[in-house]
Amino acid sequence: MSDVKNITPEQLALKVTMEMLMEHLEESQSKDPEFVCPVCHKSSFTVPVSSKDPTKPMIVTMPLPHSEGRGIWNFQIMCNICAHSMYFNTGKICSLLKEKGKI
């Protein structure tokens, strides 16, 4: 992929496509059969798409207390059975995708 050494973590997260994230999640499920919803114990998930670009996953920002305008970025996945949501840190996902040469 293109040179990603000199870009911010936020810029890197914005490069992640639905295809990249879905592939990563599918690999995680195949390696760990216990990768299931913690509420209903099923393994059927949806990744919400960005409202600006349907080829990109939605990024959810969790605010930091006492740090106005700052937050932690996460990719969301939602259980198709019970609607429980789980959040995956964009920085960690990007690091794993970089290790695999995906970004």
pLDDT of residue 4: 62
Cα dihedral sign, 65-84-23-42: positive
Output the tens digit of pLDDT for each of the chain's 103 residues. Answer: 456 677 888 999 999 999 999 999 999 888 888 889 999 999 999 999 999 999 999 999 999 999 888 899 999 999 999 999 999 999 999 999 999 999 9
pLDDT of residue 3: 60
Interatomic CA distance for residues 56 and 75, integer angstroms? 10
Residue 47, helix vs strand vs coil: coil
Predicted TM-score of the model (pTM): 0.85
The number of CA neighbours under 13 Å toward the Cβ of 56 is 15
